[in-house]
Amino acid sequence: MEVKLNIPFEQLLRALSQLTPLQRRKAKAVLERKSAGKTSEAGENLAELLLHGPVFSEEQLLRMEETRKAFATWRDR
């Protein structure tokens, strides 16, 4: 069974401020668990991208290093 309530944010804050410290910690823990579940999916997607994404070749890395050195020389003039 699922119950959905449409409570204005300010009213929700007032209700939360009336909780005991223990109840606040429990509510915070529940909210953090729910948000962690959403970020773990995003984290998995990022990990997948990093593990299987494009990489630079040795030639491209050398060309970038040469370009950086050329810009550094140009700035120092």
| Boundaries of every domain in the chain | 8-53
Nearby residues of 16 by Cβ (< 8 Å), 6 or more positions away = 24, 27
Average pLDDT of each block of 10 consecutive residues along the chain (77 residues)? 83 92 91 70 80 91 96 89
Asked if residue 28 lies in contact with residue 36, where contact means CB atoms within 8 angstroms, the answer is no
Three-class SS state of 11: helix
What distance in Å separates the CA atoms of residue 31 and residue 28, rounded to the nearest whole number?
5
For 76, how many CA atoms within 13 A lie in the half-sphere containing its CB?
6
Q: What is the pTM of this model?
A: 0.40
Instruction: Return the pLDDT at 1.
Output: 67
CA gyration radius, the chain: 26
